[in-house]
Amino acid sequence: MLKIVIAEDAVLLRAGLVELLERVGHRVPAAIGDATALVRAVDAERPDAVVTDVRMPPGHRDEGLRAALELRGRHPGLPVLVLSQYVATAYATRLLGAGSADRGGLGYLLKDRVLEVGDFLDALERVAAGQTVIDPEVVRILLARHTADDPLRRLTPREREVLGLMAEGWNNQAIAQRLTVTEASVVKHAGNIFMKLDLDPAEGNRRVLAVLAHLNHVAAADS
């Protein structure tokens, strides 16, 4: 059972989220519709995790994301799952690049993911457990943006697949399941990837962050 604070300005979706979370046994002490109330509620409730929309009142810009970053500063390690209406890699980059990311889970999901109720709950629980979850669509875009001198080109298609799943935050076992291969071969692929991309093969969040940092770097050099 987790204690979760929800910030979402669309009333229907907010109600739906509350119902969903409570039905599977979580507790939602506060569900609010604007960013300033979110910060107050978290300060008061000390939840296990925060689910917030990017676009929030009063400005309907990225108040939700900014509030999340502020909360991460005030409560180090607070797991935050950010929901976004559309893919904006800038959001993901800002969220993940905002320091202290190696402590406490972080997630960036498209709102449509909520429809896959099972996946959504799974992602939320992983974030609350301190892992990093990135929407596959964001990963796909980051992986797709590369140039001629890009080290990603050195990867085999299978290695790219593994890298993509890694970036989404899955561990070797889960990747093996998804690709229906043995865990040993995933470890082998991962080793090759880290070697080819010159990455630190540390486990967990740092692994995801290393991959994302690399992808972002490529993306930044690209644009």
Partner 1 sequence: MGVAVWAAVRRRPVRFLVSWWPWRGWALLVTGAVQGAVVLVALAAGLLVGVGLSVLGVGVLVLGWTALLGVPVGALERWRLRLVEPERLPDPHRSAARGLRGRLRERASRRELAYALVQSTVFAAAGLLFAAALAFCLLLLSAPVFILAVSPDTVMLWPGRPVSGPLDGFAASAAGLLGLVVLAYSGALLAGAQVRLAQQLLGLRDTDLGVRVVELTRSRARLADAFEAERRRIERDLHDGAQQQLVALGMTLGLVELELRGRDTPATALVARARGEAKLALEQLRTLVRGIHPQVLTDHGLPSAVAELAARHPVPVLVDLHLPRRLPGPVESAAYFTVSEALTNAAKHSGADGITVRGTLDAGALRLSVTDNGRGGADPGAGAGLQGLADRLAVLDGRLTVTSPPGGPTRLELEVPC
Please state the closest distance from residue 151 (CB atom) to partner 1, in A. Answer: 16
Residue closer to partner 1 (CB basis): 11 or 129 = 11
The residue among 86, 89, 68, 88 whose CA lies nearest residue 78 is 68
Residue closer to partner 1 (CB basis): 44 or 220 = 220
Please state the closest distance from residue 67 (CB atom) to partner 1, in A. Answer: 16
Please compute Rg for the chain using Cα positions.
17
* Contact footprint for partner 1 (CB under 8 A): 10-13, 15-17, 19-20, 23-24, 55, 60-62, 85-90, 111-112, 114-118, 120, 141, 144-147, 222-223
Rounded to whole angstroms, what are the CA distances from 203 to 29, 130, 182, 199, 206? 34, 13, 18, 12, 6
Please state the closest distance from residue 216 (CB atom) to partner 1, in A. Answer: 13
State both tokens at 19: 């119902």
- How far apart (Å, rounded) are the C-alpha atoms in residues 82 and 185? 33
Residue closer to partner 1 (CB basis): 144 or 195 = 144
Please state the closest distance from residue 61 (CB atom) to partner 1, in A. Answer: 6
- How far apart (Å, rounded) are the C-alpha atoms in residues 39 and 96? 19
Residue closer to partner 1 (CB basis): 84 or 172 = 84
> Dihedral sign, CA of 71, 216, 145, 121?
negative
Please state the closest distance from residue 141 (CB atom) to partner 1, in A. Answer: 4
Residue closer to partner 1 (CB basis): 11 or 184 = 11
